Every structure is written in C-alpha cells, then in structure tokens.
Structure 1
Amino acid sequence: MSSSLTFQILGVVEARIGTDLVRLSGKQRSLLAVMLLQANCTVTNTRLMDAVWGRPLPVAPETRVRTLVSELRRSLSRHGFDGIQTKPSGYVIRVEDGQLDLNVFLAKVRQAREAVINGVPGAALNAYDEALALWHGTALTGASGPFADAETARLEEVRLTVMEERFGALLQLGRPAEVVTDLSRLVLLHPLREGLHAQLMTALYRCGRRSEALDLYRSLRSRLVQELGMEPLTELRNLQQQMLSSEPVPDLALQDQLTGPAHARRR
C-alpha cells in the first residue's frame, strides 16, 4: 500500500499524492466516501448500492457496483494504492494512521478535550485550531446519494460542536473579544442553538456589552417560544439572571446540556 497517498473528505472528496490529485469521477467520489467513512470494515454490496444510488435502484445494481469498484481501484492503483480488497459480502478499504483527514481531525479533537479536562485551555486551543484547519469547505463535497447527504449533515454537526468547544477555550483564556464576530455569524446561521447563544452572551457581557447580551437572550427566548413552544434552558435563564445582577458569569465550555440545537436535544 502506498503510504504517500492520502484521502480527504472534510471538503471535496479527494485522493492525492502530495499536492497531486488523483482523477476521480463523481460516482467514484461517492463510492470512496462510503468506504472511507467505514474504513477498515467490510461494506456490503447492498450497503454500497443503497448509499450510492438510493431507492429505486438502477438496473443491474450489483454489476454497477462491481464496475465502479474496479474503476476506483484502477484509478488508485496507478498511484501505488492497493488497499481496496474484495470480501465475500462486499469490499473493504484499508487506511493507515494519518492517511484519512477525518481520523486526524478526530484525534486532534480528543487531544484538545483531554487538555480541557486537564485544565490546560491553551493547549486545547492549539489542538482545536489544528483540527479545524483540516476542513476545506463542506464535508463530502462532490459525493452524492442518500448516504452522503446524511453523513454531510452529521459531520457538519460534529464540526460545529468542535467550534463551540474552541470558543469555550478562548473564553477560558480570557479572550472574549476574539470570539464575538465568529459567534455572531454562527448565531445567525443557527438561530435556535442555545449553546452558541450562551457563549455569545458570555463574550458580549465580558466585553462590557451587557445590554447586547440581554437583547440576545430576549431574541432567543422569543424565537424558542414562538417556533418550538419552549422556554430557554435553565442554564440560559440563570445566565440571564447573573447578567441582570451584574454578577460574574461562568465558563460554559463543554456543557453537554448546552450542545446542539434545541429541537434536536429536547424532542
């Protein structure tokens, strides 16, 4: 297996040798994405058919899978990669440590979270930055099919959670002004995500912008009540009360109860 060939799915689905791209068709990208997300595990023919084409399946789907795997294998083998293996029930792609950007990303995130637990927010921030630098746009760009659609949404949620954790590290380091712009943009994109609102409220408050922080809370509460019939979480209500009383507010990094959109957490 060629150790110099790397795979990227945190952006456009690509295989490359150094800076040289391996030429892949759209369907090859879709197939490669499915296999890479289940790297080192057998992906069944049925799974591949459903993932790449969905229902209804095209004519002769098993033949199409075999042909597509052969084409992908041939494209990669030209660059010395022989890691696609045929199994009785399907296929497996062998990926080594450091060869898939998603695996490197997850390893960096684990490193960052360990640093948070150990009370070293500076080291956590560095690891978060290294992890997020691996992203080059929307995950699985260039791949299509129901599997790619679902996994794109899942991976984007993972990235957003990691971004929240990174903001938490910056707040712990006493650098609230550095997060206000990015958090303001994300709050507009995710208007029901209470964790982002809590962090932006905290950042604004610590920058001496209490009225803006309280306005943000009122806007969020109005939207939650109107759209979901829910009040903000207790943690957010407590945060508002602390701000009304001009009390110091706590760090909110890595609080599970504030992670994720309200409709997903409280359905």
Structure 2
Amino acid sequence: MLEFRILGPVEVHHDGAEVPLDGSKPRTVLTALLLADNGAVSDAQMSDFLWGQHPPATYNAQIYTYVSRLRKTLRREVGITRRSRGYELRPAACSFDLREFEEQAAQGQAALAANRYEDAARLLRGALRLWRGPALTGVSEHLSDAEAPRLEEARIAALESRIEADLALGRHAPLLPELTRLVHQHPLQERFRAQLMTTFYRCDRQADALSLYEEGRRMLADELGIDPGSLLREVHLAILTADPVLRGPRRIAV
C-alpha cells in the first residue's frame, strides 16, 4: 500500500520502503495534487506553484514531464489523469497523513465539546503524532507559502485543544514546560498564554500568572495596537478574584 506524507518532509512509502521522488519539482506537483483532494489542478495553478510569477516558456511541457515521471514512480496504484487543462490525482488503496490528521483532530475536538476529556486527549495526541516536522518540507517555496500556513493553523488548533483536554483532566503540572515553550514561540497566541496563566495559578504561582498577563497585554498593545481578548481578560479576572472554579479541572472557554 502507498503512504503519502506531507506533514513534515514530503515522502511516499510503498509497503514500508520510501519511494524516491527525484527533487523538489516532482514533490511539488504531487503535493499540489494531493492537496486538491480529488479535484483538478489547472496548468496555470501548477505553474504558479512551481515557478511563481516567472514560469519558463515551456512550462506546459515541463509539467507534463513531471506528471509522466510521477505516473511511472507511483505505478498503477495511483492514477493521474488529464482534466480540461489540468491534472487530477485519484489514489486507490493508500493512506494520506493529512487526511488522517484531519479526521482524528475532528474526532478529538468533538469529544472535547462533549466533555469526554480522556477520549479528546487520546485522539488529539494521535493526530499530532502524525506531524514529523514543518509541513510541506521539500516542495517549492511558492506552494509552501500558499498552503503551509493553513496546515500550521490546524496543527496549532489541535494542540490548543489537546492542552485544554489535559487541563480539564487536572494534568496542569506536567504542562508547565510545554506551555512555557509554546508561549515563547507564539507570544501573541492568546489561548496558549491563558492556558499557561491557568497552569501557573493551579501550581500556586499566582504572581507568575499575573506577570504573564501583563507581558501579553503590553505585547499586544505595542505590536498590534489592541487590548487582550475576552479569554485572557476572563482568566486574569478569575485569578485576581481567586475564583475557586479556576483551581480545579475546568475547560477554558474559547
């Protein structure tokens, strides 16, 4: 069975062995077709993904060459068909890590909404384990710039939800190192900051929680010219008033 992996370096595996893809251009063509989700990618779109605003005069012929190579590499298990000035990929028996991630993440977020926190944490951990590094590594910068941000947003959303499930289960102490790192990496991401404030508070570090809020407030004002959102303000108020609900396992509202 073929396995397509794009949540990290773009790879294809067949029965456990990696299939060579011979450079960034074939990887870009394959990834664009996979991301089209059984839809066609026009020649113009593919040209943009491969060369941006400066395609070669022979771009149609070059795209055809890359598609022909992929057909040989992927054998009969994947059909790449011509569709009205474009190409469409129709995989048969195969696995695709993005599809698996989206399915598991959706199931985990549904479990979280239903207060099934153990199920949510398990499903979301499984979804996040499919990531092997930055998505779309090895494709052209044009395709990466167009598609990688939305994939990273989906990863961050799943990670936020997984942490929320862990907090709801009272697992705040083990979260401290992870959340500290995440707030450092994503200083303007208010949900991570609110989750770390809650974790500090539950670990009897109220001063650190309040300091973290002030740091975020200043950063939002200086860099974006805005005040903290409702989530940060609510957690801040709960800390100031020693809200007993914040002490125990609770779900941080979005």
Q: TM-score range by the shorter chain?
A: over 0.9
Aligned letter for 1:173? L
When the two structures are aligned, how many residues end up with a matched partner?
249
Does residue 8 of the first structure (1) align with residue 5 of the second (2)?
A: yes
Moved more, 88-97 or 151-160: 88-97
Distance 1:82 1:96, change over 3 A: closer
CA distance in 1, matches of 2:169, 2:204: 17
**Counterpart in the other structure of 1:66:** 64
CA distance in 1, matches of 2:216, 2:133: 28
CA distance in 2, matches of 1:234, 1:119: 22
Distance 1:96 1:112, change over 3 A: farther
Question: How far 1:211 sits from its partner (Å)?
Answer: 0.9
Structure with the larger helix share: 2
**Counterpart in the other structure of 2:20:** 23
Q: Secondary structure at the match of 2:77?
A: coil
Does residue 127 of the first structure (1) align with residue 120 of the second (2)?
A: no
Percent identity over the alignment is 38
8 Å CA contact 2:108–2:119 kept in 1: the answer is yes
Does residue 171 of the first structure (1) align with residue 167 of the second (2)?
A: yes
Aligned letter for 2:251? D
Does residue 137 of the first structure (1) align with residue 139 of the second (2)?
A: no
Q: 1:37-65 CA distances to partner (integer Å, 9 max, x unpaired)? A: 01311111111111111111122111111
CA distance in 1, matches of 2:91, 2:197: 43
Distance 1:92 1:222, change over 3 A: same
> How high is the TM-score relative to the length of structure 2?
0.93
**Counterpart in the other structure of 1:53:** 51
Does residue 33 of the first structure (1) align with residue 8 of the second (2)?
A: no
* Structure 1: runs of 5+ lacking an equivalent: 256-267
8 Å CA contact 1:122–1:173 kept in 2: the answer is yes
Distance 1:132 1:96, change over 3 A: farther
Question: How far 1:12 sits from its partner (Å)?
Answer: 0.8
Q: Where in structure 2 are the equivalents of 1:236-251 lying within 5 Å?
A: 236-248=232-244, 249=246, 251=251
CA distance in 2, matches of 1:101, 1:70: 24
CA distance in 2, matches of 1:98, 1:111: 21
8 Å CA contact 2:2–2:93 kept in 1: the answer is no
Question: How far 1:98 sits from its partner (Å)?
Answer: 6.0
8 Å CA contact 2:100–2:127 kept in 1: the answer is yes
Q: Secondary structure at the match of 1:99?
A: strand
Aligned letter for 2:65? T
Question: How far 1:147 sits from its partner (Å)?
Answer: 2.1
Question: How far 1:83 sits from its partner (Å)?
Answer: 1.8
1:153 equivalent among 144, 149, 152: 149
8 Å CA contact 2:25–2:50 kept in 1: the answer is yes
Q: Secondary structure at the match of 1:141?
A: coil
Aligned letter for 2:252? L
Moved more, 210-219 or 142-151: 142-151
CA distance in 2, matches of 1:16, 1:227: 44
Distance 1:174 1:96, change over 3 A: farther
Q: 1:84-141 CA distances to partner (integer Å, 9 max, x unpaired)? A: 1222321111135761110001000111112112221000111001100111001001
> How high is the TM-score relative to the length of structure 1?
0.89
8 Å CA contact 2:4–2:94 kept in 1: the answer is no
Q: Secondary structure at the match of 2:78?
A: coil
CA distance in 2, matches of 1:145, 1:236: 35
Question: How far 1:156 sits from its partner (Å)?
Answer: 1.1
CA distance in 2, matches of 1:204, 1:225: 23
Question: How far 1:247 sits from its partner (Å)?
Answer: 1.4
8 Å CA contact 1:9–1:102 kept in 2: the answer is yes
Instruction: Compute the RMSD of aligned alpha carbons.
Output: 1.5
CA distance in 1, matches of 2:228, 2:94: 41
Aligned letter for 2:29? L
Q: 1:12-40 CA distances to partner (integer Å, 9 max, x unpaired)? A: 11111132111012111111111110131
8 Å CA contact 2:112–2:161 kept in 1: the answer is no
